[in-house]
Structure 1
């Protein structure tokens, strides 16, 4: 995040917090090789009973993100809370959100757990709830350059993270002794050529929203393309794949 010029405000096991405008959010989605998702926090509260959860969700206006004929999904996880069933928590959050739409428009969005327009993430630990909207859509490890995936694939963002931990300089020869589908080498090539990892994706979650700034997004994409190194042969990097049987 700091490499992208974003202000990191906090970190915790599993993620970091940063501050930015929407352009920074778009950049983070397009350029982050390590993140799984970029979430925008919208609510923090304590709730012990279903009625409390329902009323707290209504504090935030979810109708400003999508139209009532679009779709939503709720991803919930619960740990050491009085409401133990994450399916029940997800249902209660969904009820509050669709009731918001029904009251305002007379119709409500449908639930689509496969390809929703708006994903809402709800986390509860010891009755403390955190609610965020997902700006990414599909997980960011899905770069868009694969047509098929084999058995037990290595996630692209994990491969990129391991390459970063190895302190590879993006120029020295790189040998992959465990080459299956070439994830390490593909990620390494994209790093060396400064290709944004999300440049080949079909889309991101924020592009489905009412406040989507298309001109800002096009600017971010153009800047990323302009920053690419166009000629792999001119670099001093060598990528070697070795399959051992």
Structure 2
């Protein structure tokens, strides 16, 4: 069957690379998604192990759309009562980009009506709708004249890992954090540092990656558990075979934040993992941060004035000066939505990637810190 893994804009290549590493070599890149073929065991495995996807969909029906009625008729052909019990709540979500429909919500209502009518015809009763916390999530994708109906086997987005006990006001999305770490090509051995760690998302995702522990190991909710065909024994085998505990990390991880409340939240979030005691977290400004000698990888999401009040010129100017004078031998990666902030860094990036953190358009930039000038280093722009 066709399995589609959804992700954020700009992360399609990263997700395809991750799938290749997990053994899925035949990948088709789509818009904000990657498609593979597999079985239900793959659906279970990917929901647990994939780090750079938002959700795992299983395609139910693909069809052409000429009129509004086509959506209802095509959805009515699906044997919904063989997928889930009438007692389960459901919702229809997704994306519609077609001139056929004048109202953006109408296509979802058509699918909802088809599902309800199917159950009335077959069972004599109807399932309830629950938009906020449905047990079954149906995904509708329409692009002009092509329609696809799928079941979202994840339910809640996979960036809801289950490990974050507390957050700050501007947390980095977990899926984005995992993707950024992959984009650095970090070897999981070199020291990795985040001097603006907030509630610790980058540090935790780095530790999970280095330890070989699935990012979703603490997550208990998956929508596939509410389907008729859920194989509890198979899921238990997949879950129990995953790494959960490590006695040490193969690298040094160091984080810090100027806000003592954020440091406390990071330590609280780390406490639930066996590797938590191996991650050093300091309550320090970037000026006072105990940077070790290079080589090291710095990856960070410094404040950029969107959701946290920040003197962008002072913060980024100071960070750029520290990078130039104190971080020789480092490879630094900064994600920010502030073009002014990057300007105040006063450093020329090796690479630039365009992506989103939530609804904020951001740039992720690589800086190799050498002694003296970087002669002959060309700026490479990717997805710009």
1:240 aligns to 2:254 (yes or no): yes
Which range is displaced more, 119-128 or 96-105?
119-128
Q: Any residues of structure 2 matched to 1:133-152 within 5 Å, and which?
A: 133-152=151-170
Encode CA deviations 1:26-72: one digit per residue, 9 max, x unaligned: 11000001000001111111223232211111121121111111111
- Aligned counterpart in structure 2 of residue 123 of structure 1, from 119, 122, 141: 141
Deviation, 1:115, is: 1.6
Q: Pick the aligned partner of 1:176 from 183, 186, 194.
A: 194
5+ long unaligned stretches in structure 1? none
Report 1:1-245 matches (<5 A). Answer: 1-225=19-243, 228=244, 230-232=246-248, 235-243=249-257, 244=285
User: Partners of 1:73 and 1:8 in 2: how far apart?
Assistant: 31
Task: Indicate conservation of the 8 Å contact 1:78/1:85, yes or no.
Answer: no
CA contact (8 A) 2:49 2:214 kept: yes
TM-score scaled by length of structure 1:
0.93
**Shift, 1:229, TM fit:** 5.7
1:174, 1:32 → 2: CA distance?
A: 22
* Distance in 2 of aligned mates of 1:111 and 1:173: 49
SS of the residue 2:175 aligns to = helix
Q: Number of matched residues? A: 241
Cα offsets for 1:70-109 (capped at 9, x unmatched): 1110114221321132211111110001100110000111
Q: Which moved more, 1:235-244 or 1:85-94?
A: 235-244
Worse overlay, 209-218 or 115-124: 115-124
Larger mean CA deviation between 7-16 and 32-41 belongs to: 7-16
Q: Identify unmatched segments of 5+ residues in structure 2.
A: 1-18, 258-284, 287-384
User: Shift of the alpha carbon at 1:126?
Assistant: 1.0
Deviations 1:200-244 (A, max 9, x none): 01221101111000110001011113xx56212xx3411111323
Q: How far off its partner does 1:179 sit?
A: 1.0
- Tell me the alpha carbon deviations over residues 143-193 of structure 1, each in whole angstroms, 9 at most, x when there is no partner: 100123332321111001000000111111101022111100000011111
